Amino acid sequence: MANVTVIGAQWGDEGKGKIVDWLASRADAVVRFQGGHNAGHTLVIDGTTYKLSLLPSGIVSGTLSVIGNGVVLDPWALKSEIEKIEGQGVKVTADNLAVADNCPLILPIHRDLDGLREAAAGSGKIGTTGRGIGPAYEDKVGRRAIRVCDLAHLGALEPQLDRLCAHHDALRAGFDQPPVDREALLQELREIADFVLQYAQPVWKRLKKVRKAGAKILFEGAQGVLLDIDHGTYPFVTSSNTVSGTAAAGSGLGPNATGYVLGIVKAYTTRVGSGPFPTELGDEIGKGLGERGHEFGTVTGRQRRVGWFDAVIVRQSCAISGVTGIALTKIDVLDGLDEVKICTGYRLRGQVFDHFPSHAADQAAVEPIYETMEGWKESTAGARSFADLPANAVKYIQRVQELIETPVALVSTSPERDDTILMRDPFMD
């Protein structure tokens, strides 16, 4: 049986939470390997909605859930999220949650800096969630980070604080802000330390043991490939690598452990925040898709921008991330339309492109080339077999997989876990 790595193949918000939860019920461990609490996953199980930002989706089903070293961890957000889902009846203990002891921490000063920068950026705003993700990754790479393991050695933290504050004090001065209050920061860390440390461990070692026992591991990515720091629509991207290859570095297991790569793809396209979006719809059709799809960010509540399916960017994402098969979600949102469109290429200054160019100005200037297909009036909501789908919906799915050059493994027909059509089993492939 294969391990499975799940990544978003668009700009995030593709419905990874439901798919990961469905797969987690058949896995022995679920691992978050990048991002922070800027990622939002919504799970609907037996009518109960769970909104997760930091915790792996497997936590709801009781599966061993691991926060890997590639994640930047806000310890206060972790505590808040655990308390919230425990209030919904989910039990979280050191037996079913493990946090990498070498995870970098997101600190209050990171949130401060994130907000100050966005407020001062004017037309250069990137549209971050303001949760300190980017500044925390900067400190990690700049070797200034305070990590989970440091919470057990706060009395020896002075040299690290010197490096950290020398950097942040200079930045804060540029925004007319006072220096970092070191004692207040230390006190906040003292107060949260024991809570976080109860889950802390070298997770690479635990995962090695799980793998050696022949258990199935599910690697859960956050955001989407088009928000990847290298391969996304730079600079309107997140601060980590979101591609499948990050699962190895972000968990402490080698690349041969990541297994089947499942790309989550929405049957249309959405995006939150700033940045290019070739197929964006500003008309009543776009408004209708957004309303039927409940297109609001899980974390920020921001309304998502909505557009037709873009086969060019999905094909590119699948190639970059080595996607084995896709899970097509929210097909039911397209129900009732007279026609549906798929972007098959771009025009840019008289030339036809079969890929998304790298420069932001070119990305903003491309014009989509559409293929129009007949829609379907019948409902796909709740379908659990391919035979239950309308003929035109089947044609749409088949055309999507032709254009993205990647087979469809799963089709999701509602937010409910069991409303899923299985065409290829990632754990058995």
Residues designated catalytic: 13, 41
Q: 């077999």: which residue's tokens?
A: 385
* Residue 202 C-alpha from the chain's centroid: 23
Query: Which DSSP letter does residue 296 get?
Result: B
Name the packing angle between helices 108-120 and 182-197 (round to 10°): 120
**In residues, how long is the chain?**
429
Sole residue written with tokens 């003292």: 190
Place of tokens 């199935």: 216
- How far apart are alpha carbons 145 and 228 in whole angstroms? 22
**Is the Cα torsion angle 194, 57, 220, 25 positive or negative in sign?**
positive
CA torsion through residues 242, 243, 246, 248, sign: positive
Determine contact, residues 68/253, Cβ cutoff 8 Å: no
Report d(CA 244, CA 300) in Å as an integer: 25
Q: Take residue 30 and report the two structure tokens written for it.
A: 């679920």
What radius of gyration do the chain's Cα atoms show?
22
